[in-house]
Amino acid sequence: MLDAVRGWRKERVVIAKDSIGQQVLVTTGLTMDADGNDVIGVAIGKGPTAALTITDGARLSVNIRSSLHDLIEHLGGV
């Protein structure tokens, strides 16, 4: 696992590539929104943070799993 890059609680980082092949960090963790509420933080590279509630996080998880399934299916069930 990489060292923390944003200083969030329970921070996790995945090294990925953007659509032009450049390395980019995808960071998740626990942070606070502008109102001081605990939320899930999601950031790509040095871009802004998406602050997700539990419900939003669950929806994002479903969307990512669905896209992963779509890619596996597209690649012929790899």
CA 5 remoteness from chain centre: 13
Q: Which of 62, 30, 23 is nearest to 49 (CA)?
A: 30
Task: Quote the pLDDT of residue 3.
Answer: 66
What is the predicted pLDDT for the residue at 4? 66
pLDDT in tens, 23-67: 999 999 999 999 999 999 999 999 999 999 999 999 999 999 999
Interacting residues of 23 by C-beta distance below 8 A, sequence separation 6+: 15, 16, 17
What was the pLDDT predicted at 30?
A: 98
The domain locations on the chain are 9-74
Residue 1 has pLDDT above 70, yes or no: no
